[in-house]
Amino acid sequence: MKLFVATHNQHKIREISQILPEFEIVADDPEGVEENAPDFAGNALIKVHAIAERHPGEWCMADDSGLEVKALGGAPGVHSARYAGEPCNTPANNALLLKNLEGKTDRRARFTCCCALVDPSGEEMVVHGHCPGHIAEKASGSEGFGYDPLFIPDGYDKSFADLSADEKNSISHRGRALEKVKAIVGSGEGGKVSNSSNPPLAHSSTLLAWLKLFRVVNLPTVPGDVLVGAASVLCWGADAAISSRYAQVIAAAALASVFLYMFGLVDNDIVGAKGDRGRPIPDGEISIGAARIARGLCLFAALIVGAAANLQSDWWIASFLLAMSVVVYNRTKLSLFMGLCRGLNVLSGAVVVGMCGIELAALALVAPLVWTLYITVVTWYSTGEENDPDKKRRVGLLVGGIVYLQLAALIYLTMKGASVMPLLVTGAVLLVLLRLMRRVLPRVSAS
Ligand code: ITT
């Protein structure tokens, strides 16, 4: 398939052709257009529309890209090509960048690539790709172009200009943006794509970055699974009122479930560290080393809670299987393992109640099984929701329904015994926090 690309930059054309070998890339210089938009998307759209008029009924694309340096407030940014003035002069740009960073210890930066597309019906869309890294003290390497000799991508100790073309393309901002372009053009679903915006570079404080890593807005729903498991046993397994021992073990299992979930979230982001999902590790806000330590601490905290509450072997087995499912899911993305994670969470709530002397009725296994199945199907169905707002809404409703079941479990447990009052209070506080955090930290909820 033909893809017309609006650029005069031969380096870009070479990289785009290497990254998208299945397309016939045809360069078309949008000569004379003024790139005067305040952001990459605006400039990419100006360029692509300049050539789209010349190729009606064809796919057209423009790449507007640049380097954003944190300590320079995002500069050179959209002015990357002409940072040291007109006309574009790469040695002068690089020298100015090094000069402006003299004495600065924070040298974090990222490359951003915005690709604007116009589909054969004239519909426009934009996608972004990022590559986080830092600016070296001096230039090195002879490959690539522009700021490549000064940019060291995260996870590497050499510059882009020291990497082979294949290596650079596999992690670069352009490689990541073009993967999205390939999916859009390949599927022919131009008009249905929701446009992405460029997340601000210098946005997150360290605290916000950690809140984002742990997806705090979603955390309160995790102990709810444990409550459902506990309620399912008490509902079918026995008629006893709840003693304070129940409240204690349920609370411990619920707390441990939060730590295990946090372990899973960090592990997921470590596995996807080279991806581009607007997440704190790929965005360079949290180092991979710090994330690894956090992952170990979360697992350790779950174990400590289990040991301190004297939870018995059934809980340890369920939790071990849960941690295994998390690890497998993060590496395979098989929906069944996501289902197992949540189902085992429910099971851990069921087995702790069993420890208090209540017979675990076979019926009590129904809740974990139903949960596993439901989450498996919803996870499988949610594939591709990022590009389909209707699907995203439907998935939100399906997941939201679970919260009502969790609430029902909480109310049921509360009615079973006065000693469960602390559970009710905890639940109420979590719900209030959930609502508050959705308001105060809307961006944190992106999963
Ligand atoms: P067109 O507008 O014709 O596409 P350009 O070079 O003017 O070509 P931009 O306005 O998008 O393109 O500016 C991009 C600048 O950002 C580029 O000149 C480099 O200085 C820098 N840049 C972008 N991607 C880069 C990469 O992969 N490696 C090094 N520098 C890059």
Ligand 1 geometric centre to CA of 243 (Å): 67
DSSP 246-272: HHHHHHHHHHHHHHHHHHHHHHHHHHT
Mutual angle of helices 389-416 and 421-440, in 10-degree steps: 160
Position with higher pLDDT, 236 vs 117: 117
**pLDDT grade for 25, boundaries at 50, 70 and 90:** very high
Task: Say if ligand 1 is within 6 A of residue 94 CB.
Answer: no
Ligand 1 geometric centre to CA of 229 (Å): 55
What DSSP state is assigned to residue 143? S
**pLDDT grade for 441, boundaries at 50, 70 and 90:** very low
Position with higher pLDDT, 231 vs 446: 231
Residue 352 is predicted with a pLDDT of: 86
Region 319-339: mean pLDDT is 95
Q: CA neighbours within 13 Å on the CB side: how many for 168? A: 26
Task: Say if ligand 1 is within 6 A of residue 64 CB.
Answer: yes
Strand order in the sheet with 24-28: 24-28, 2-6, 59-69, 108-118, 124-135, 151-153
Residue 359 is predicted with a pLDDT of: 62
Measured by CA distance, the residue closest to atom 31 of ligand 1 is 146
Task: Say if ligand 1 is within 6 A of residue 285 CB.
Answer: no
Ligand 1 geometric centre to CA of 80 (Å): 7
d(C-alpha 3, C-alpha 48), whole Å: 11
* pLDDT tens string 53-112: 999 999 999 999 999 998 898 999 999 999 998 888 999 999 999 999 998 888 989 999
Instruction: Count Cβ atoms below 10 Å from residue 205 Cβ, excluding itself.
Output: 10
Indicate if the pLDDT at residue 445 is higher than 50. no
Residue 447 is predicted with a pLDDT of: 33
- Which part of the chain has CATH 3.90.950.10? 2-204
Any idea what the Cα angle at residue 11 is, between residues 5 and 14, rounded to 5°? 65
Task: Say if ligand 1 is within 6 A of residue 372 CB.
Answer: no
> Cβ neighbours of residue 253 under 8 Å, at least 6 residues apart?
226, 230, 306, 309, 311, 315, 348, 349, 352
Residue 442 is predicted with a pLDDT of: 40
Task: Say if ligand 1 is within 6 A of residue 7 CB.
Answer: yes
d(C-alpha 166, C-alpha 17), whole Å: 12
Residue 49 is predicted with a pLDDT of: 96
- Atom index in ligand 1 nearest the CA of residue 40 equals 11
Measured by CA distance, the residue closest to atom 11 of ligand 1 is 64
Measured by CA distance, the residue closest to atom 30 of ligand 1 is 146
Task: Say if ligand 1 is within 6 A of residue 81 CB.
Answer: yes
Indicate if the pLDDT at residue 231 is higher than 90. no
Indicate if the pLDDT at residue 146 is higher than 90. yes
- Atom index in ligand 1 nearest the CA of residue 174 equals 27
SS3 state of residue 347: helix
Report residue 100 CA to chain centroid gap: 32
Residue 446 is predicted with a pLDDT of: 32
Which residues make beta-bridge pairs with 66? Answer: 112
Region 214-223: mean pLDDT is 81
Task: Report residue 364 as tokens.
Answer: 């009590």
Residue 162 appears among annotated catalytic residues: no
Ligand 1 geometric centre to CA of 191 (Å): 27
* pLDDT tens string 235-294: 765 555 566 677 888 889 999 999 999 999 999 989 987 665 567 887 667 888 899 999
Ligand 1 geometric centre to CA of 7 (Å): 10
Region 157-176: mean pLDDT is 95
Task: Say if ligand 1 is within 6 A of residue 12 CB.
Answer: yes
Task: Say if ligand 1 is within 6 A of residue 74 CB.
Answer: no
Residue 78 is predicted with a pLDDT of: 94
d(C-alpha 60, C-alpha 2), whole Å: 9
Residue 341 is predicted with a pLDDT of: 95
- Choice among 28, 29, 39, 64 that is catalytic: 64
**pLDDT grade for 43, boundaries at 50, 70 and 90:** very high
Task: Say if ligand 1 is within 6 A of residue 77 CB.
Answer: no
**Under a CB-based contact definition with an 8 Å cutoff, are residues 355 and 315 in contact?**
yes
φ, ψ for residue 69 (rounded to 5)?
-110, 125
Residue 242 is predicted with a pLDDT of: 62
Task: Say if ligand 1 is within 6 A of residue 146 CB.
Answer: yes
Region 431-439: mean pLDDT is 62
Ligand 1 geometric centre to CA of 94 (Å): 13
Measured by CA distance, the residue closest to atom 19 of ligand 1 is 146
Residue 434 is predicted with a pLDDT of: 64
Position with higher pLDDT, 173 vs 414: 173
Mutation choice for ligand 1 from 4, 8, 9, CB with most ligand atoms inside 8 A: 9
Residue from 284, 213, 261, 282 nearest 443 by CA: 213
What mean pLDDT value characterizes the chain? Answer: 85
Look at 119-123, 158-162, 178-182, 425-429 and tell me which has the smallest mean pLDDT: 425-429
- Atom index in ligand 1 nearest the CA of residue 44 equals 11
Q: CA neighbours within 13 Å on the CB side: how many for 124? A: 17
Q: Note the CATH number of domain 2-204.
A: 3.90.950.10
